Chains A and B, each alone.
Chain A
Amino acid sequence: MDTFISIFTEFDVAGALWVNIKLTFFAAIGATVLGTILAMMRISPVASFAAIGTSYVNIIRNTPLTIIILFGVLALNGQLGLDLGGGFQQNFFRLAVMGLAIYHAAFVCESIRSGVNTVPQGQAEAARAIGLAFMPAARMIILPQAFRGAIVPLGNVLIALIKNSTVAAVGSVSVEASATMGNALDARGDIVLPIFLAFAAGFVIIVIPVGLLTTWLSKKLAVSQ
């Protein structure tokens, strides 16, 4: 047990995890906004929008996140001089958030789309039959049901995002958990397993409640069909 305590005093485990939570928080907001826009584009009847949405999802979803984050640092920042402000270190943090948001937006888009897909066609037809116009039908009938159908996939995206926030290490965010753990393992080669378990436990503690919450929400809101 002493070893475990010494890990927490010697290395800033909580601080590193806090960086991951911050990365996740901001990236989640970005991914939700971007992903919703993309989902709207994909299901819209405007051909060019649908094409943009589809190509975005197909390209981003099939690219390793490592490359997307590296690209943000090396291409957008290094070559194009994109500066998201906040000073030198903060800029890399924001670039990493941007990379995470861009990547996960593709999955948010697909989650929302699959949510819309869970709504049976009859619901929309019935809405139309009782004389609701497009907006009221979408607002009162389709979207509430679609949202319920999207809860589980969206929860999965959030969990993936929490874990993927460690990839920010390649984008020069060296204070997050995986880089901090790497340094700790280098410094204390005698206790590598306890160090790993300390950091891993941190993620378990963050991830499990999100999973439970998602399951609970989806059960609570489940639409019986």
Chain B
Amino acid sequence: MSASVLFDTPGPKARRNIILINILGAVVIVAVLWWTISGLAAKGQMAPGKWDDFLEANTWVDYLLPGLANTLKAAALAIVGSVVFGLIFGIGRLSKNKLINVFCSIIVEFFRSVPVLLMIVFFNIFFSRNLQISSDSAMWAVVAALVFYNGSVVAELIRSGVRNLPKGQREAGTAIGLTTGQCLRAVEIPQALVAMLPALISQFVVILKDSALGYIISFNELLFYGRTYSSPNGNVLQALIVVAAVFIIINFALSKLATIVSRRLSSRGETKTKPGARALVGAPAGLDDVEPGGGAGGRNQNR
């Protein structure tokens, strides 16, 4: 890490200071935690009766797990849809045909610029009223919004993934007689897909987090069930914390997985990353690995 070189090896005085600052830091953390917890306790929110529901099997079997199942279902549909959407429009943007290229560019740029929540609210009404989809229209609204947004991000990943491949790949393809399209399909896209695997996993985290927006339109996902469960029990707050913890654990595991996959891939050979990207490997924000500082490709990843 280049960070370490910023600092000298601490001498005795600096070490003493560091210990002092460490203690100070610990005190600040404890103080903030204490303020929050004692404040909640003063309002009766730390009472065991408000929390022990979450230790009961029924709470999980009847509410949180079905909610989580719906969250994961929507997220899985969305990631599959995003890859399909991303492949179509990513390849479209690489097309030599000007019309296809411009059309795909407009679609991708549009959906990357529109807030996911705006799309969710719109699709919810559009699906249930105008298209008369009655079962699970809320879920389809969430899935559609997530596919359009994340699909556009994936399209950009594919585009930049192909662009970042060494020129020799295409040249070799052409040399053995493949047309541009064949070369793209048989040689370049597969490699780009493998290279973007970590980014795709990171995108799954984004999708999972955004699926919680479905709560606003009563899509019965994890947050919604947490709230439903807590409404007759008077522990909305506790439900929020438990639901947040579930999200954090799943997403943290996914982020770790993305890092591991990214390490595996970068150890496979030099083909995947541009020179100069070296310093970034290990930076946890997944998408940066794919497109370090190049154009608008990695944009909008931080939802």
Q: Do chains A and B touch in the complex (CB under 8 A)?
A: yes
- The size of the chain B interface, using a CB distance under 8 A, is 77
Interchain CB contact (< 8 A) of A64 among B2, B236, B247, B288:
B247
CB closest residue in chain B, given A54: B284
List chain A residues, Cβ under 8 A from B26. Answer: 48
Given A193-B126, A204-B113, A225-B276, does the pair A80, B240 have CB atoms closer than 8 Å? no
Say whether, besides A66-B213, A153-B288, A203-B113, A45 and B298 are in contact (CB < 8 Å): no
Indicate if the CB atoms of A121 and B5 lie closer than 8 Å.
yes
Stretch touching chain B among A2-10, A89-97, A110-118:
A110-118
A114 cross-chain contacts in B, Cβ below 8 A: 280, 283, 285, 288
Q: Is the CB of A110 within 8 A of B7?
A: no
Within 8 A of A (CB), among B244-303: 244, 247-248, 251-252, 255, 276, 279-280, 282-285, 288, 292-296, 298-303
Number of residue pairs A-B, CB distance < 8 angstroms = 229
- Report the minimum CB–CB distance from B124 to chain A (whole Å): 9
A46 touches B8 (CB 8 A): no
B172 at interface, CB cutoff 8 A: no
13 A-B contacts, Cβ less than 8 Å apart?
A61-B251, A62-B247, A66-B213, A80-B43, A110-B285, A134-B8, A149-B293, A159-B113, A159-B299, A189-B125, A189-B129, A192-B130, A203-B113
B58 interfacial by beta-carbon distance below 8 Å: no
Contact with B along A125-166 (1 / 0, CB 8 A): 100100000100110001000000101110111011001111
Secondary structure call for the B interface: helix
Closest chain A CB from B259 CB (angstroms): 12
A49 touching B21, Cβ below 8 Å: yes
Interface residues of B (CB under 8 A from A): 1-8, 10, 18, 21-23, 25-26, 29, 36, 39-40, 43, 45, 109-110, 112-119, 121-122, 125-126, 129-130, 205, 208-213, 215-216, 223, 236-237, 240-241, 243-244, 247-248, 251-252, 255, 276, 279-280, 282-285, 288, 292-296, 298-303
Tally A residues with Cβ within 8 Å of B: 84
Q: What residue in chain A is nearest B22 (Cβ atoms)? A: A48
Task: Considering the complex, give the chain A residue whose CB is closest to the CB of B4.
Answer: A45
Q: How far apart are B9's CB and chain A's nearest CB, in angstroms?
A: 9
Q: With A120-B2, A167-B117 in contact, is A215–B302 under 8 Å at CB?
A: no
A interface secondary structure, majority: helix
Q: Is the CB of B129 within 8 A of A67?
A: no
The listed residue (B223, B240, B284, B302) touching A156 by CB distance below 8 A is B302
Asked whether A18 is an interface residue with its Cβ less than 8 Å from the other chain, the reply is: no
Asked if A134 and B118 sit within 8 Å, CB to CB, the answer is no
Q: Which residue of A lies closest to B238 (CB)?
A: A75
Measured in the bound complex, the distance between the Cα atoms of B21 and A65 in whole Å is 32
* Contact A64 B212, beta carbon cutoff 8 Å: yes
Chain B neighbourhood of A26, CB < 8 A: none
Q: Compute how far the CA of A67 lies from the CA of B209 in the bound complex, rounded to whole angstroms.
A: 9
